[in-house]
Amino acid sequence: MFKDKELIIFDMDGTLIDSVPSLSYAINYMLKELGRKTFDENIIRDWVGNGADILVKRALVGKKEYEDENIDEEYFKKAKEIFLEFYGKNLNAKTTLYPDVIDTLEYLKSKGYKLALATNKPIEFVGSMLEHFGLLDYFETYLGGGSLKYKKPHPQILLKICNDLNIPPLKSVMVGDSKSDILAAKSANMDVIALTYGYNQGINLEELEPTILLDNFRDLKEYF
């Protein structure tokens, strides 16, 4: 179905790696340092997928719907600083690679596709994590939170990668696990493959009408 494509752009957290255990570890450390209530990992899992700022805000208000809450800006900055410092020291402490990721990336690379990474994770963490899990050499380029003005679901990060690699969006496919990935791809006029096992925050991804919905990473081989 996608054999005429040239570029595959992957999300990171919830797609290639399960980083929730490490993120939960860091969020609860932050909350303890602030003298606040901590949360079960399964609750925090539902907050992940929109970048560090939103994750911290959700933790501070204790729920996914943080927008209507009045969060003091200085308090937020202090909390985020605690979180990022601790997380930076414990990036891979509890993070794991999803099954079949290496094998599938190897297969796609062998077929001649260019691979890239577009994540909302702060860019300062991305390279070292890719290297730790043996993923760095598979990607032509990667961008993260802070690389550009906008994060997903804005299409800027996808369009930048296409432009840098001189491959049009119509010849590209986004692979991700969240609403942000699907919306970013659609705004970039790009096909999108959604994975059901990641951080979808309780959203039925099928309702967002991705090009294809898959349950396993290895199933990508059937379409390329």
Catalytic sites, residue numbers? 11
> Distance between CA atoms of 50 and 196, rounded to whole angstroms?
17
Asked if residue 123 lies in contact with residue 143, where contact means CB atoms within 8 angstroms, the answer is yes
Number of CB atoms found within 10 A of residue 205's CB: 20
Q: Which residues, other chains included, contact 122 with Cβ-Cβ below 8 Å and sequence gap of 6+?
A: 51, 52, 84, 144, 145, 146
Asked if residue 24 lies in contact with residue 45, where contact means CB atoms within 8 angstroms, the answer is yes
**Nearest-CA neighbor of 195 among 169, 181, 187?**
181
> Distance between CA atoms of 58 and 156, rounded to whole angstroms?
25
Asked if residue 94 lies in contact with residue 23, where contact means CB atoms within 8 angstroms, the answer is no
CA dist 215 → 15, 61, 87, 197, 205 (Å): 11, 32, 29, 6, 12
Q: What single DSSP character describes residue 170?
A: G
